[in-house]
Amino acid sequence: MSRRWIVTAVIFMIVNAVLFGIGATAVLSIPSLAAEASTLIWVVTALSFVLALPIAYLLAPRLRARYQRMEEARRVAREKDDMRVSPRTSHMPH
């Protein structure tokens, strides 16, 4: 399983919950939709479940890119620290 799919699986439920929350809020707060809430909540549940996977799949590389940028910054900082001359090895004139 590729890392993209692992990240997708991790964020799938979060995306699903957000989509469901947006849909449920819309259904329950709009009076014309609230009249049909018993049916529309099922539609919102199904749509949020179906739409969450492609959205999570599209977001996964962006989350990995952020992690990779942080790792690159740490690597560069370590290299700068390694390049510094320690006081014990510096060549000072006598």
- Residue 48 CB neighbours (<10 A): 20
Buried b (16+ CB within 10 A) or exposed e, 52-61: beebbbebbe
Sign of the alpha-carbon dihedral angle for 15, 16, 18, 23 = positive
pLDDT in tens, 41-77: 999 999 999 999 999 999 988 887 777 788 888 888 8
Q: Domain extents for the chain?
A: 3-83
CA–CA separation, 27 and 9 (whole Å):
27
pTM of the model: 0.67
What pLDDT is stored for residue 17 in this prediction? 97
The predicted model gives 8-19 an average pLDDT of: 96
CA distances from 20 to 24, 26, 52, 59, 65 (A): 6, 10, 9, 17, 27
